[in-house]
Structure 1
């Protein structure tokens, strides 16, 4: 019987300055398009103003790394000049609800950013998000139910709406954790999957937890995944002491915290040469894999694994 959680869908890197973040990820060897930010008119007949959150993706074949930052209403500080402003068309009777939801998301992002700049979002990919919801409910894992949102996508035939179905798990102190339906293959041609570093897949998220909480967190994630945690991913759980063993020199910004993620590449030598050319520091994991430390990567260590 197929599992209802297959692999990672995305991680979310919450940043303070989107211009710096986009520049960093391009130096890391990712193709990163200009970010998008929603805009709404604050009053009738007024020009739309950006607000909520700006985001962009480094897209991979079956998942992505998201860069996201909260945006104060009407303020574009920290956004690159080529950021794409996306005016939202919202009926007047639903405007208050839409505003409250976007403001709540922005406030949550601000809280995470103020806690530390780095990874705060971990979403798993599912071929059956409704089945995953039912299983989690039966296991006593609280969640908000399956939601559906529309994401505007620019295609060769104009703007289209990609429907995204997801659920968020309640009460995860490390950040936003949830399950998302697999990426829609109908829109795959709109994603840029070729990167200078050759990245093909997001294969691991590393979560650092307090020593005494490791068994409970392990049990919690095994409930989420419906299988034992293993060295094959998609989540690696460790304590502060374990972190310094796996990623020498790394210190968690807080506990619990997502401290790193791993991308799969076909040519490690190519990655090493690119990182050196772009002036980024590189260390070695306990497994002999190169990684860019969090202090040089806006709070989230990035590991490269050859496949």
Structure 2
């Protein structure tokens, strides 16, 4: 059966201090470029100043990890940050500023809940088909949005087209955060961004959502509608298998079994994500050499506790060769 949602497009780690987040992710062995900050002059003739929301990515070939923060006056801006002055026609600029301000306000709301994962976007080869299916199923969404932005590559500037939809955009409707679907990344553009991460990370392969025990059935039903995929039981968790990736739903009572020592900061909450790495032993050595504490999941994968990773547990799992690729990390039998 051909599915219209195939993998995880990205997760968003919302942080309070971008400089601290950059330092952490680089110690974790990710290549994280300098963050981009939109900038505007507060008065005519003044230098542009950062405002709104800032972000950066740790990129893989088919997906990425996003670091995002809201910008407050007086915030410490990383020394290597890229200020991006807003340039748009006079009739468009107010809408652009409003959109950035809305994003910043949304990030502030996330941080009021907790610092950690608040964004989960799935990837689709046919986002228009996803929109049609969701509408037919009675699932609210904001429609397919299209954004075009210039991207610098080794061969010059190209225009990247980003198409996405957000599921049920009413406040509080998706309490775990911003959930949606994006068109698959352009492999040529993303290939230019892809980095050789020192920790060996090559793919984003799992997101873990923790819900109250009494809400597990409702969460299962929601995501079954979103993903149009069957669900299976795996120990204390319920799992949606995607193409070499997975979404794991775990009740609060099972979280400490799945991820020993972890407790959700709120419910529901995206509590962890998993990256596949080329050589798990080398990854563990790098993390230990950098002073990063590790625990083990129920299935034996090393993970960085959320207390040491700005509110999200980060799981590392050895990638299988392509000819043997499948979803790993299941509950031990």
TM-score (norm 2): 0.88
Two-structure CA RMSD over aligned residues (Å) = 1.4
| Match of residue 159, structure 2, among 143, 158, 161 | 161
1:5 aligned onto 2:5 = yes
Is residue 31–residue 194 contact of structure 1 (8 Å, CA) maintained in 2?
A: yes
Unaligned runs of 5+ in 2: 233-238, 320-333
> Aligned runs of 1:230-269 on 2, under 5 Å?
230=232, 231=239, 232=241, 233-269=245-281
Is residue 51–residue 71 contact of structure 1 (8 Å, CA) maintained in 2?
A: yes
In 1: Cα distance, 2:81 partner to 2:138 partner: 42
Out of 150-159 and 203-212, give the one that drifted further. Answer: 150-159
CA apart distance, 1:2: 2.2
In 2: Cα distance, 1:151 partner to 1:114 partner: 30
> Residue in 2 aligned with 1:195?
197
In 1: Cα distance, 2:2 partner to 2:33 partner: 34
> Residue in 1 aligned with 2:111?
113
| Match of residue 90, structure 2, among 89, 92, 98 | 92
Is residue 61–residue 187 contact of structure 2 (8 Å, CA) maintained in 1?
A: no
Give the secondary structure class of the aligned counterpart of 1:200: strand
Give the secondary structure class of the aligned counterpart of 2:37: strand
1:50 aligned onto 2:67 = no
1:228 aligned onto 2:230 = yes
CA apart distance, 1:76: 6.0
Is residue 203–residue 264 contact of structure 1 (8 Å, CA) maintained in 2?
A: yes
TM-score (norm 1): 0.96
Distance 1:218 1:174, change over 3 A: same
Give the secondary structure class of the aligned counterpart of 1:130: helix
CA apart distance, 1:158: 4.0
1:276 aligned onto 2:288 = yes
Is residue 16–residue 78 contact of structure 1 (8 Å, CA) maintained in 2?
A: no
Runs of 4+ with deviation above 3 angstroms? 42-46, 157-160, 230-233
CA apart distance, 1:124: 0.1
Give the secondary structure class of the aligned counterpart of 1:99: helix
Out of 147-156 and 15-24, give the one that drifted further. Answer: 147-156
Distance 1:281 1:252, change over 3 A: same
